[in-house]
Amino acid sequence: MIRNPVPWPHGARCAVAFTFDMDADSILHLAHHTSADTRVAALSMLRYGPEVAVPRLVDLYARFGMHQTLLLPAWCMERYPAAVETILKGGHEIAHHGYLHEHPNACERDEELYWFQRAIDVIARLTGERPRGFRAASYRFSRHSLDFLIQEGLIYDASLMGDDVPYLLENDKGQVIELPTHYAMDDWPHFMASRDLGYMMSPKSPPQAFEVYQAEFEAMWEYGGLWIAVWHPFLSGRLARCVAMAKLIEHMHQKGQVWFATLEEIAAHVRQVIADGHWTPRRDRLPYYEGPIPELGQATPTLAR
């Protein structure tokens, strides 16, 4: 089913990374800049992430002896230093997730670079290390993002959805390793509900959502894939969901032959097997398109209405 499965360490059948995007209230300020401060219930829901869920998640993963990657908008790191300290004390990786959860593909090139570098400066100052990896806010990777990842020396991206195993993103300036996921692995469609943010979907029960995550895991285990969850502490760190998360982790450990790793460790391993000639990645060259496809010309956008 997978044509070029990665030779994972220790003969593991698949690699697993539970990653957490700790957006906290950055997304509310971005959506409602002038009124976010008055939306107290939404603020409280989002602050649950750094205040309650992150300590709980760090304790949970310590119980299993596992380390994760947490992706934090740098503004959230400045705003919630205790959460940063808890994450670092737990031995977890902190990766780049923008400055204020700004959408790269909504920015002009210079503007995107400004926020990208500003976030790197904060991460370097608060963790003592520059970030090794990046996930664009809301997966909004832009036509310039790869340039900036290469320019700033990051080794992986985790924003895209183009394969079941790692692959290379490249352009004329260089390349980075893509560690892909997809929407079924994101907790947003399963659990997000907020009047202030305009999401009025009916949240799934934990067993319904974790049935999806487990099905993805069984397939990745069978065929040698890469299982990356994209979860948010304020959503998946809620109590009943954390209980279900612990059950899934127990199941994975019982099944065995699973490599639990941070994104940084997975990227480093992939680099090594490529360098050793043990594995040849698929390559995606960016940009996919130089601009709008010419076939439509000046056709009106009503074609798809």
Between CA 22 and CA 158 the distance in angstroms is 15
> Which of 21, 25, 93, 284 touches Zn ion by CB under 5 A?
21
Measured from the CB atom, the residue of 137 and 242 that comes closer to Zn ion is: 137
- Residue 264 in contact with Zn ion, rule: CB under 5 A: no
Beta bridge partners of 169: 176, 284
Q: Hey, what amino acid is at 31? A: A
Judged by CB under 5 A, the stretch of 10-18, 22-30, 118-126, 171-179 that binds Zn ion is 22-30
Interface with Zn ion: number of residues (CB under 5 A): 3
Measured from the CB atom, the residue of 26 and 175 that comes closer to Zn ion is: 26
134 C-beta neighbours (distance < 10 Å), count: 27
> Which of 22, 23, 104, 263 touches Zn ion by CB under 5 A?
23
Kind of pairing, strands 226-231 and 156-157? unpaired
CB of 196 to Zn ion, least distance (A): 16
Measured from the CB atom, the residue of 146 and 235 that comes closer to Zn ion is: 235
CB of 76 to Zn ion, least distance (A): 10
CB of 92 to Zn ion, least distance (A): 16
CA 175, 117, 95, 44 torsion-angle sign: negative
Indicate the length of the chain as a whole number.
305
For residue 251 the two structure tokens come to 């199941």
Q: Which residue is nearest to Zn ion (CB)?
A: 21
Pick out residues in 114-153 that bind Zn ion (CB under 5 A). 137
Measured from the CB atom, the residue of 54 and 270 that comes closer to Zn ion is: 54
Between CA 284 and CA 273 the distance in angstroms is 18
CB of 72 to Zn ion, least distance (A): 9
- Angle 122-126-127 from CA coordinates, rounded to 5°: 115
Task: With residue 95 as reference, give the H or E element that holds it.
Answer: strand 93-96
Which residues form the interface with Zn ion (CB under 5 A)?
21, 23, 137
